[in-house]
């Protein structure tokens, strides 16, 4: 009996060992697959950062020249590419991509050093979709700058200066758009609509944290325009009332005039 038990015990031990090996190998394989999946997610996230930054760089042509923001976005691209390279150095073309982005950052840094940001006149596009696109670009830029500052990739003082500049530009576009619509309505004698546009512009200025010469000047201009609209409405209402009274007077005269005999 012992002769049969011993081989059977060995077989069971071997089976258990084999099962343990399979379980361990499977666990290791699953762990590797999990790590690879996590790496791919991180790489995809960095690629999305590069795509977003490059789209914003392309859209900078629609805004007044700002070499500092271009430099920040190019640095963001390079940092994301380096993170991709560290995660998956075997990714095709990643080395050449890092080199290309490093060259581009160097060029943008030189441009930023030689060309300071300056206030430029901004002409509103007539196309409504283009205007919306510009505002969306500014909003995305502000979110990106805040993200870079929170990650420590952007100095707090630089962030504040650039964010305030973008906020002022965003406010200016909103105000100029409202004033443009209000003026068009006023010229068409749509006084009620014109007043609504100018009142909204005044409220936007009042609620904004931006405080510069443009805000002061525009507040005075819009207030004067609202006074002009109020006076025009009073004149229009007075004229309408006079015309109505005249019409009613004519109706009464017609009613009580002597009847003709036929």
CA separation for the pair 13, 72 (Å, rounded): 63
Of 64-68, 117-121, 188-192, 258-262, the least confident: 258-262
250 pLDDT more than 80: no
d(CA 58, CA 51): 11
Q: What angle do helix axes 67-87 and 156-187 make, rounded to 10 degrees?
A: 130
CA gap 142, 164 in Å, rounded: 9
Give yes or no for a contact between 229 and 198, defined as CB atoms under 8 angstroms apart: yes
Are 218 and 198 within 8 A, CB to CB? no
Whether pLDDT at 255 is above 80: no
Query: pLDDT-derived band of residue 43, with 50, 70 and 90 as boundaries?
Result: very high
Task: Please give the pLDDT value at position 91.
Answer: 80
How do residues 215-229 score in pLDDT, each as one tens digit? Answer: 999 999 999 999 988
Range with lowest mean pLDDT among 61-70, 107-116, 169-178: 107-116
Q: Over 80: is that where the pLDDT of 145 sits?
A: yes
What residues contact residue 53 under an 8 Å CB cut-off, 6+ apart?
A: 73, 74, 76, 77, 80, 144
* CA atoms in the 13 A half-sphere facing the CB of 40: 6
> What pLDDT shows up at residue 4?
56
Compute the distance between CA of residue 169 and CA of residue 153 in angstroms, rounded to an integer. 24
Instruction: Flag whether pLDDT at 241 surpasses 50.
Output: no
The answer to whether residue 125 scores a pLDDT higher than 80 is no
How far apart are alpha carbons 232 and 136 in whole angstroms?
36
> What mean pLDDT do residues 106-114 have?
88
Q: Does pTM surpass 0.85? A: no
> Terminus-to-terminus CA distance in the chain, angstroms?
148
Give the pLDDT of residue 26: 87
Q: Is 81:94 a contact under the CB 8 Å cutoff?
A: yes
Given a contact cutoff of 8 angstroms between Cβ atoms, the answer to whether 185 and 197 are in contact is yes
- pLDDT value at position 111? 86
How confident is the model over 170-211, as pLDDT tens digits? Answer: 999 999 989 999 999 999 988 889 999 999 999 999 999 898
Helix 191-207 crosses helix 213-256 at what angle (to 10 degrees)? 150
- Residue 158 CA to residue 117 CA, distance in Å, equals 12
pLDDT band, very low/low/confident/very high, at 13 (cuts 50, 70, 90): confident
Exposed/middle/buried for residue 12 (C-beta within 10 Å: 0-12, 13-18, 19+): exposed
Q: How far apart are CA 170 and CA 174, in angstroms?
A: 6
Nearest to residue 190, comparing CAs of 235, 231, 232, 221? Answer: 232
């Amino acid at each position: 009996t012992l002769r049969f038990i011993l081989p059977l015990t060995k077989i069971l031990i071997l089976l258990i060992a084999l099962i343990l090996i399979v379980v361990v190998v499977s666990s290791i394989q699953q762990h590797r697959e999990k790590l690879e999946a996590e790496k791919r997610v991180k790489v995809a996230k960095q690629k999305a950062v590069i795509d977003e930054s490059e789209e914003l760089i392309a859209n900078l042509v629609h805004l007044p020249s700002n070499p500092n923001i271009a430099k920040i976005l190019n640095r963001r691209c390079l940092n994301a590419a380096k993170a991709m390279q560290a995660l998956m150095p075997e990714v095709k073309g990643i080395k050449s991509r890092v080199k290309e982005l490093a060259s581009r950052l160097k060029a943008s840094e030189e441009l930023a050093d030689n060309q300071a940001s300056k206030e430029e006149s901004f002409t509103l596009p007539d196309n409504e979709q283009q205007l919306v696109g510009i505002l969306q670009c500014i909003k995305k830029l502000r979110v990106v700058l805040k993200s870079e500052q929170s990650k420590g990739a952007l100095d707090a003082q630089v962030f504040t200066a650039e964010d305030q500049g973008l906020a002022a530009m965003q406010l200016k576009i909103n105000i100029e758009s409202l004033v443009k619509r209000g003026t068009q309505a006023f010229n068409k004698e749509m006084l009620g609509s014109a007043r609504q546009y100018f009142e909204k512009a005044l409220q936007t200025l009042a609620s904004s944290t931006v405080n510069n010469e443009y805000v002061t000047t525009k507040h005075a201009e819009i207030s004067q325009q609202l006074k002009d609209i109020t006076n025009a409405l009073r004149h229009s209402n007075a004229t309408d009332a006079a015309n109505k009274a005249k019409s009613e007077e004519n109706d009464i005269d017609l009613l009580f005039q002597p009847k003709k005999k036929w």
